[in-house]
Amino acid sequence: MDSFLIHGGNRLKGRVEISGSKNSALPILAATLMAEGRTRLHGVPRLSDIDSMIKLLGELGCHVHRHEPDPAAKQSDGPVLNGPLDIEVQDERKSEARYEIVKTMRASICVLGPILAKRGEAVIALPGGCAIGDRPVDLHVRGLQKLGAEFRLENGNICGKVHGRLKGCRMYLGGAQGPTVLGTVNVMCAATLAEGETVLVGAACEPEVVDCAELLIKMGAQIKGHGTPEIRIEGVDKLHEAEHRIIPDRIECGTFMIAAAITNGELELKHCNLDHLIAVQDRLEEVGVKLSRENGTIFVASARRLNPVEMTTQPYPGFPTDLQAQLMALLCLGDGISVITERVFPDRFLHVGELNRMGARVRKEGATAVVQGVKELQGATVMASDLRASAALVLAALAAKGTTRIDRVYHIDRGYEKIEQKLRAVGADIERIKEP
């Protein structure tokens, strides 16, 4: 288990290339299971979660090949860190996602809809709880049941079966906490191959859902209304090969915006879409961060004084839960009291205790955290507990006085491509300590 050693206090300055979106790439990779022929994807980041999904696709009979980056590729098209990824289904006999893979990556559940629709049966290990909460998959299962799939739970696995073909219908997909992102994608994927029309009411509107719909449309699917709470899908007989570029990672982008803000720095973030971060822009501007954009580049600069704010996480286009911990790190240095409420994952506060070890003053009350800004944070040894909580600790460490050691950074490697190289290139003092 590697650690990061960060000496805080450096102002970050320079240019950062934002990678393709992890949360877009994962369900999109699962959707390629439905295509006849090869799918070529550009901008798939190199991350451990992506490696797990590629491994799973391999076990499900796909041939996956990553090309070397093309030195002649145009920078303006998107990040050129990685070459394209080709996926081709070669063998449809195996339809099982084992617990060993699912337990390392919950997004494995995304293969459920695609393989049920294409192969007629699926066995997926039921994902357990995780550091950010219970994370049930009941809405995925209910949506697929409404399309006609039958399920039973057997030895910790969800076993699904379709007799004949799935049948389109009109359904409500929301749950107690609002819409579900991966549940929407799962049911939307399955509905593309169902008989007749499916209408998903209460669908998630996240850009990652839209990106997956765009790929499916390139494959021949008939989808309308993606990006709104009502998605209409007219089933087709088959999906064909396609080529697609994954959207920029809005969460990585938001994390670097906060990195500029917390170090009183100036960053130029390339290959981003500020439209996907409208609520984040709103809150950061309220804090006093200056943001501007030119084409696909965002310029971030921050004053020394940070205003306290109130923020509530919400489904898109609200403030994303995946940036809640990072904003909290920033507000720890705010000039007054900030209030953060988590509406998507009410228990997602494991970072609070670790930030307090660094001198922050955060008090949790139910799904709300009250952050009393302090003058400075101090370096300490802290432990990464989940992906975004770890990112918050990195941010706090960049601003803290002294040295911070962050243990268990494998959580960060799940979702931030080359984070220490990117941070070092703009002036951060960060090194990875490899465990022997």
Rounded to 5 degrees, φ, ψ at 20 are: -70, 155
Residue 348 Cβ, how far from ligand EPU at the closest point, in Å?
8
Closer Cβ to ligand EPU, 211 or 268, answer by number: 211
CA dist., res. 382 & res. 358, Å (int):
8
Residue 187 Cβ, how far from ligand EPU at the closest point, in Å?
10
Q: Which of 266, 392, 403, 288 is nearest to 336 (CA)?
A: 288
Closer Cβ to ligand EPU, 47 or 289, answer by number: 47
Which one from 110, 130, 159, 205 is the annotated catalytic residue? 130
181-192 vs 22-31: helix axis angle to the nearest 10?
30
Owner of token pair 């593309």: 192
Owner of token pair 């020394």: 304
Sign of CA dihedral 3, 427, 15, 388: positive
Burial 111-140, CB ≥16 within 10 A → b, else e: bbbbbbbbbbebbbbbbeeebbbeebbebb
Helix (H) or strand (E) holding 151: strand 150-154
Residue 32 Cβ, how far from ligand EPU at the closest point, in Å?
16
**130 has catalytic annotation:** yes
CA dist., res. 20 & res. 23, Å (int):
9
Closer Cβ to ligand EPU, 208 or 214, answer by number: 208
- Using CB under 6 A as the criterion, which residues of the chain lie in contact with ligand EPU when the complex forms? 23, 26, 107, 133, 135-140, 175, 177, 180-183, 204, 208, 320-322, 344-345, 387-388, 415
Residue 356 Cβ, how far from ligand EPU at the closest point, in Å?
22
SS3 319: strand
250-262 vs 387-399: helix axis angle to the nearest 10?
20
Q: Are 130 and 411 in contact (CB under 8 A)?
A: no
Give residues with Cβ within 8 angstroms of 255, minimum separation 6: 323, 326, 391, 395, 416
Closer Cβ to ligand EPU, 135 or 293, answer by number: 135
Q: Which of 122, 115, 63 is nearest to 90 (CA)?
A: 63
Residue 223 Cβ, how far from ligand EPU at the closest point, in Å?
18
Q: How many CB atoms lie within 10 A of CB 12?
A: 24
Residue 12 Cβ, how far from ligand EPU at the closest point, in Å?
22
Residue 391 Cβ, how far from ligand EPU at the closest point, in Å?
9
Residues carrying an active site annotation = 130
